[in-house]
A and B are shown apart, each in its own frame.
Chain A
Amino acid sequence: MKINEYLRVKTVEEAYHQMIQDPIDSYLIAGGAWTKLTIKEVQTLIDLQDVVKNHIEIKGHMVHLGAMTSLEQIAHSTLLDHHALVILKRAASIVMAPGVRNLATIGGSVMGKYAFSDIIPALLALHAILVFHKRGNVWLQDFLQEPKKDPDILLEVLLPIVPGVGYFHAMKKTALDFSIISVAIVKTNQRNTMVIGSRPGIANRCLQAEQLLNEADIIDEPFLEEVANKACSEVDFGTNVRASGEYRKQIAKVYVLRGLKEVYGL
C-alpha cells in the first residue's frame, strides 16, 4: 500500500478531526484484514487501535462489543453462549481462518457493508445497534439502508439480550470460500427475525415472512414451508461467478426451512 502519512491517534476526537479535514483521502483502519485487497493508495491512514475498545462485556440487558473486537475473540467468547447470541459466534467462527479472524474486527465487518459478510446477517437478526462517535445510536438495519452519510467513527456494537433461540448457516464450497448464501433466524418470545445474506447483495430481512410467523397460531411443517417460500420470494437473488440467482433462491429456501424447523423444534 502507498501511505503518505500514518497517524496513530490518541483520542477518538483526534481521529474524527483528522478525518473531517480530508474525508476523501483519509482512511480509518481498524483490524485491517481486507485493506490490502481494497485500498491501494491513501494520503493519511488513521489507526484506531489505541482508542476504540476491543473487548466484550455485558451491561444490563445489552452485550457491548467494542468495535475493535476481533472475530476470533467473538468466536471464542463465553459471553455469547446465551440465547440466540450464539449465532454471532457461529457466524464469526466460519469467516475464513483464525489468522484472518485475529485481524478482522466487528467494526470493520460492519463499516465495510460487505455483501458477502457472514457477520452482518447474524447482527441483523439479533437487532444490533451501532454506537457512533457523533451520531450516537443507529439501528444496523437503518445503517445498511441509508445513503452514505458524513464520516463518523463506530465505537461499539450493542446486542439486546432477549431469551430465545437462533439458527445460522452459511453455505460455502470449501471452508475458505465466501458464502454462496447465508441464513440467520432468531426466535424470541416477542418476535421472529429472518435474514438472508450473500444473495449476493447485502443481507436483507424477510419482513413479510417474519410477519406471517409472528401472527401464526399453529406452527407445523407445511406452514413453515409457506414461510420459507414467502421469505425467498420477498428478497432478490442475483447471479455472480459463484452461483446463479435461481440456485441461491432454491437453497435459501432449503436452509430457511431447516432453520425454522430447528428453532421450532420440529
Chain B
Amino acid sequence: MKVASVKHSSVDGLGLMLGRPAYTADLMAKNSLIVKVLRSPHAFAKIVSIDTSNAQQMTGVECILTAKDFKRFAYTRAGQGYPEPSPHDKFVFDEYVRYVGDEVCAVACVDEATALEALKAIKVEYQVLEPVLDFEAAINHSSIIHPEPEIHEMFPIGFEPKKNIAASYQMHVGDVEKTLTSSDVVVDEVFYTHAQAHSMMEPHSVNTRLDYMNRLVMYSSTQTPFHVRRILSQVLTFPLSKIRVIKPRVGGGFGGKQAIHGEIICSAVTLITKKPATLTYTRKEVFESSYSRHPMRLSIKLGATKEGVLKAIDCHILSDTGAYGEHALTVFMVAGSKVLPLYNKVDSVRFHGEVVYTNHTPAGAFRGYGAIQGNFALESAIDILCKKLDVDPIEFRMKNMIKEGETSPIFSIMGEGTEGTAMNMDTCKLPFCVQKGKELIDWTKTYPNKSVSQDIKEGVGMAIAMQGSGIPYIDMGAATIKLNDDGFFNLLVGATEIGQGSDTVLSQIAAEALETDLSNVIVYSSDSDLTPFDPGAYASSTTYVSGNAVYLAALSMKKRLITEAALALRCEEELIRYDGIGFTNTNTNEQITLKQLSNRLFYNHDQKQLMITESYVGHKSPPPFMAGFVRVQVDTSTGEVRVVDYVSVVDCGTTINPMLARGQVEGAIIQGIGMTLYEEATYSSQGRLHQNDFLSYHIPTRKELPHLTTVFADSYEESGPYGAKSVGEIGIDTPPAAIANAIYNACGIRLTTLPFTPEKVLQAIHSLKEKLR
C-alpha cells in the first residue's frame, strides 16, 4: 500500500494551527442575535408562571421564547438513527424543570450584555418539588420525574416513567444461578462509576440564518449533522428540504456533541425574527447543561473452577440517565454487549438491569459508551477472582479470553437497543496484545509490586478490552467522488470530522484505491446539502463504515475512468493498464494521462462529469481488541497515585494512518486515566453540580502525562477498508480496571468506586491496616 497504512500528516493541521476561521463560532454572521437560555436553579420544580414583560420592554431584546412558542412535541435529543432507541421524553421547554441547569426559556438580543440583563429581568415562579438525587433510590420514588402523558418509547425499551425507569433489559444464556452454585470459587462484587464530563475544548456552538432561498442554514459543532437536520424538522415542523446543516470544523466531541444542544432554540429565533442568531454554551453550561457519562452501579458475580476456568458471569447494572433518557438503554446495553464476550467460554451468562431517571444533569453518549463502565467492573472482578484462585491474572486471561475464529452467543442476542448480529472473530489478536504488553511493561520484574521508598510502592496491573466498529444493519455511510478537470478528485462525505482525523483517513482510503497522491483528493465533509448521508461520528464507525463507502466509491470511480480511457484509447477495457498517473493501451502502448483524460472529458470528447456515490451498511461490527498495562506508584502515606507507564497493545486491524491511530489510543488512554484518578462529579444536597468549570473539574494536564507506549498488532480485517477496524473508542476502556488492579498489586487495597482520589486511596489503606492489625 502506498497511501493507506502510511503515516501522513493531517490534511488540515496547518490551516488550523495558523488560526484560519474554521469552527462554528468563527463562522457566525456579523450582527447575529445573541441567544441565551434561562436555566433552572432547582433540581426539580414545576413552573407556576413566567413573567417576561419587563424583559420584553428592554431595548435590544428581539425575541423571548417560552414553551408557548413551540408545538408540544416529545422528542429525544440523543442524535441517533430513526426510530431512536432512546425515550422521547424531552420538550423544547416544559412546565417542569428536572435538573439544575435545565431550560426554562430563552432570549435573543442584540448583544450579550443585553441578553444577560434580559435573563435577569425575567421573573419565574417555581413550585419546588422533592428531587431524586440518589439513583439507587429512584425506582418507585415518591417523586415521578416524568409524569407528562405525551412521552413515549419508539419501540419496546422497558420504558416505565411512572417508576422513574427510562429503560430496562435482561438476557441470559444458560442457567447462571445453577452454574454459580456449582462453581468452586465465586466472586461477588459491586462497583460504582461516576459522571465523567467530556471536556472538549470547544464549547457547544450553533448559529443560524435564512439564506436568499429563504432556507434555514445552520452551522453547528455537532457530531451528527444529518440527525440534527431530521430532529430539527420534526420538532419545529419545518420542512426537511428547507434546512441545511453544515458541520464546520469541530473542536472535539467524544460523544458530547452527538446530541442536539442549542440547535432548536437558535433555529427558532431565526425563523421567528428572520435574523441570524448564535448560541454558544458557556463552560458552565457545557458542564451543567449538556450531558455527561452515565454513572452506574455494576454488580458482578463470577464463578470458576478451582483449575481456573471461568464458568459464569452474572451482571446487574443500575444506570443513572439523569433528567432525560438520551442513550439510556444503549449505553447500558453496551456495558454488557461489548464487555461480556471477552470471556466467551463460560457456560452461562446473565445481563440485566434498569436505567433510572434522577434530577441530575442528563447522561449521554461518551467515548467508551458503557464499555468503559462494564470493563472496569468485569476486569477488576477477574483480578479479584484470580487472587481467590491464586492464579496469575495474565495466565487466567490467556486461558479464558476470546480468540480468533471464535464467537460468543452475546453478539446475536444483544445489539444497540435491539437484537444483535451473530459474527465470528475473523481478527482477534488478543494473545499477541497480552504477551507484547506483558513484555513492554516488564511485568515479571515488578509483579505484583516493589518498593520505591518507605512510603512509595510500585505496582503493575492490566486489563483487556473490546469495542465495536459501527452499528450493523442500522447505520449507513455514503461517499461521493467527483472527477475534476486537471485530474484531481473531490471526496464528499457525510462522515463527521471532529478532530479524530477522519478527513485525513478517508482521503487516504480514496487515494489508495484511486492509486493517486493524497494531495489529489480534496475532502469536504458533513454538509447536508452537498455531501451524501452519514449517521455521524459515533459508535466507532467512521473508518469502518464510512471508510468502506469511500473505498467502494473510489473503486467505482476507477472502473469508470478505465471505461473512459478505453474509449479514448480505442480498445477493450481489459487492455487498459492504470498506474495512478495515466492509462496505457497494453496492445499499442498508446497512453493518456489522467490529467489529459479529465480535460478531454470536460472540454473535448465524450464530454461528461464523472461523479460516483456508493454507500455501505455494516453486516457485522468487528471488535477492535486491546490489552492495557499500567505501572503506578502509590504514596501509601498520602494516597496519591501516579501513573508512570501505560502500555497499549491494540488490534484495530490495519491502521490506515498509524500516527493518527496512535493519537486516538493515546488521547483515549489519558481520558481514561483522567476518569480514573482526577475527574470527579459530585452534587450538593440540593442537586447542584459542584464541578462546573476547569478550576474544579480536573482533566489531566501534560504534567500528569505518564510515559505512553502504543503498539499495534499485525492484523487484517477482511471486511474493513484495507483491513481496518475501528480505533476511536477502544483506548478509553482499560485504564479504570488496569489502574485498580495495579493499585491492588502495589499495596493490597481493592478500589471499587471511581474516581480513585487520594483521599479514597488513603482511607482504603487505613482500613486495610486496621483489618490486618
A171 to B761, CA, bound (A): 15
Interface size class of chain B, counting residues whose CB lies under 8 Å from the partner chain: 20 to 34
Docked complex: B643-689 residues within 8 A CB-CB of A: 677-678, 682
CB-nearest residue of chain A relative to B690?
A241
- Point out residues on B near A: beta carbons under 8 Å: 113, 637-640, 677-678, 682, 690-691, 694-696, 698-701, 703-704, 757-759, 762-763
B704 and A174 contact, CB distance less than 8 A: yes
Measured CB to CB, the closest approach of chain A to B147, in angstroms, equals 33
The smallest beta-carbon distance between B713 and chain A, in angstroms, is: 32
Q: Please determine whether A178 and B703 come into contact, CB atoms closer than 8 angstroms.
A: no
The reply to whether A173 and B701 form a contact with Cβ atoms under 8 Å apart is no
- Please give the distance in Å from A35's CB to the nearest CB on chain B: 15
Point out the residues of chain B lying under 8 angstroms from A255, CB to CB. Answer: 638
Chain B: CB-nearest residue to A253: B637
- The reply to whether B695 and A173 contact each other, CB–CB distance below 8 Å, is no
Q: Whole-angstrom distance from the CB of B433 to the nearest CB of chain A?
A: 30
B696 and A176 within 8 A (CB)? no
Other-chain residue from B677, B695, B700, B762 in contact with A251 (beta carbon distance below 8 A): B762
Q: Which residues on the B side are within 8 Å of A176 (C-beta)? A: 694-695, 698, 701
Are A173 and B638 in touch, CB under 8 angstroms?
no
Contact B759 A178 (CB under 8 A): no
Residues of chain A contacted by B757 (CB below 8 angstroms): 173
Closest to B755 in A: A173
Nearest-Cβ distance from residue A138 to partner chain B, whole angstroms: 30
- Look across to chain B and name the residue whose beta carbon is closest to the beta carbon of A244: B759
CB distance from B749 to the nearest CB of A (A): 15
Q: Are A254 and B759 in contact (CB under 8 A)?
A: no
Q: Is the CB of B696 within 8 A of A241?
A: yes
Give Cα A255 to B763, complex, Å. 17
Let me know if B759 and A247 touch, CB within 8 A.
yes
Query: In the bound complex, what is the Cα–Cα distance between A244 and B758 (angstroms)?
Result: 11
* Size band of the interface chain A makes with B: 10 to 19
Contact among A2, A178, A180 with B695 in the assembled complex (CB-CB below 8 Å):
A178
Tell me, in angstroms, the Cα distance from A176 to B763 when the chains sit together: 24
> Could you write out 15 A-B pairs with CB less than 8 Å apart?
A2-B113, A171-B638, A173-B677, A173-B698, A173-B757, A174-B699, A174-B701, A174-B704, A175-B703, A176-B695, A180-B758, A243-B759, A251-B639, A251-B758, A254-B638
Give chain A nearest CB distance to B417 CB in angstroms. 36
- Contact B640–A175 (Cβ < 8 Å): no
- Chain A residues closer than 8 Å to B700, beta-carbon distance: 174
A13 in the interface (beta carbon within 8 A):
no
Instruction: Give, as a whole number of angstroms, the nearest-CB distance from A127 to chain B.
Output: 28
Contacts A241-B696, A251-B638, A254-B637 given; indicate if A174 touches B678 (C-beta within 8 A).
yes
Instruction: Kindly list chain B residues whose C-beta atoms are within 8 Å of the C-beta of A175.
Output: 701, 703-704
Chain A positions 168-189 with a Cβ under 8 Å from a chain B Cβ: 171, 173-178, 180
Q: How far apart are the CA atoms of A192 and B696 in the complex, in Å?
A: 34
- Distance of B678 from chain A, by nearest CB (Å): 5
Closest B residue to A97 using CB positions: B701
- Write the chain A residue with the least CB distance to B699: A174
Contact with B along A204-247 (1 / 0, CB 8 A): 00000000000000000000000000000000000001111001
Q: Considering the chains assembled together, what is the distance between the CA atoms of A173 and B758 in angstroms?
A: 8
The residue on B at minimum CB distance from A257 is B637
A242-B696, A247-B762 given. 5 additional CB < 8 A pairs?
A: A171-B640, A174-B704, A176-B701, A241-B696, A254-B638
Per-residue 0/1 for A130-163: is the Cβ within 8 Å of any B Cβ (1 yes, 0 no)?
0000000000000000000000000000000000
Chain B residue contacts of A174, Cβ below 8 A: 678, 698-701, 703-704
CA distance in complex: A178, B693 (Å):
13
Q: How far is the CA of A178 from the CA of B763 in the complex (A)?
A: 21
Question: Which positions in A face B, CB cutoff 8 Å?
Answer: 2, 37, 171, 173-178, 180, 241-244, 247, 250-251, 254-255
Q: How far is the CB of A151 from chain B (nearest CB, A)?
A: 28
Q: How far is the CA of A90 from the CA of B411 in the complex (A)?
A: 56
- B762 partner, pick from A37, A173, A250, beta carbons under 8 A: A250
CA of A253 to CA of B418, assembled, Å? 56
Closest CB in chain A relative to B453 CB, distance in Å? 11
B701 nearest CB neighbor, chain A only? A175
Task: For the complex of A and B, list the 10 residue pairs with the smallest distance between their C-beta atoms, beginning with the closest.
Answer: A175-B703, A247-B759, A174-B698, A254-B637, A175-B701, A241-B690, A251-B638, A173-B698, A174-B678, A173-B678
Shortest Cβ gap from A90 to chain B (Å): 15
Determine if A177 and B638 form an interchain contact, defined as CB atoms under 8 angstroms apart: no
Contacts of B637 in A (CB 8 A): 251, 254
> In the assembly, what is the distance between CA of A243 and CA of B640, in Å?
13
Complexed CA–CA distance, A171 and B704 (Å): 13
List chain A residues, Cβ under 8 A from B701.
174-176
State the CA gap A255–B762 with chains docked (Å): 14
The CA-CA distance from A37 to B639 in the complex, in Å, is: 31
* Neighbouring B residues of A177 by C-beta, 8 Å: 698
Residues of B contacting A250 with CB < 8 Å?
638, 762
Q: Establish whether residues B698 and A241, one from each chain, have CB atoms under 8 Å apart when the complex forms.
A: no
What residues of B have a CB within 8 angstroms of the CB of A241 in the complex?
Answer: 682, 690-691, 696
Taken together as a complex, chains A and B put the C-alpha atoms of A254 and B759 apart, in Å, by 13
**Chain A residues within an 8 Å CB radius of B694:** 176
A94 to chain B: closest residue by CB: B703
For A172, the closest partner residue in chain B by CB is B698
Q: Which residues of A contact B698 (CB under 8 A)?
A: 173-174, 176-177
B508 to chain A, nearest CB (A): 36
Q: How far is the CA of A255 from the CA of B758 in the complex (A)?
A: 14
Q: Say how far A2's CB is from chain B's closest CB, in angstroms.
A: 8
Q: Tell me the nearest residue of chain B to A242, going by C-beta.
A: B696
CA distance A37 to B695 in the complex (A): 11
A194 CA / B530 CA spacing, docked (Å):
68
A37 to B692, alpha carbons, bound, how many Å? 13
Report the bound CA distance from A116 to B36 in whole Å.
32
**Chain A residues with CB below 8 A from B677, complex form:** 173
A250 to B, closest residue via Cβ: B762
Bound state CA distance, A247 and B760, in angstroms? 9
How many Å lie between the Cα of A6 and that of B701 in the bound state?
Answer: 36
Bound CA–CA A255/B703 (angstroms)? 21
Query: How far apart sit A197 and B315, CA to CA, in the bound complex (Å)?
Result: 46
**Which residues in A have their C-beta under 8 angstroms from that of B678?**
173-174
- Minimum CB–CB distance for B670 against chain A, Å: 12
Q: In whole angstroms, what is the CA distance A77 to B90 when docked?
A: 57
Q: Nearest-CB distance from B204 to chain A (Å)?
A: 21
Instruction: For the complex, give the distance between the alpha carbons of A251 and B640 in Å.
Output: 10
What CA separation (Å) do A176 and B679 show in the bound complex? 12
Q: How far is the CA of A37 from the CA of B758 in the complex (A)?
A: 28
State in angstroms the CA–CA spacing of A180 and B758 once bound together.
Answer: 10
**A contact residues around B113 at 8 Å (CB):** 2
Q: How far is the CA of A171 from the CA of B759 in the complex (A)?
A: 12
The smallest beta-carbon distance between B194 and chain A, in angstroms, is: 14
Return the chain A residue nearest B640 by Cβ: A171
The complex places the Cα of A175 from the Cα of B675 at a distance, in Å, of 16
> How long is the Cα–Cα vector from A195 to B543 in the complex, in angstroms?
56
Bound CA–CA A244/B704 (angstroms): 23
**C-alpha gap A171/B757 in the complex (Å):** 12
Q: Which residue in chain A gives the minimum CB-CB distance to B757?
A: A173
Residues of B within 8 A of A173 (CB): 677-678, 698, 757-758
Minimum CB–CB distance for B525 against chain A, Å: 33
CA distance A180 to B682 in the complex (A): 17
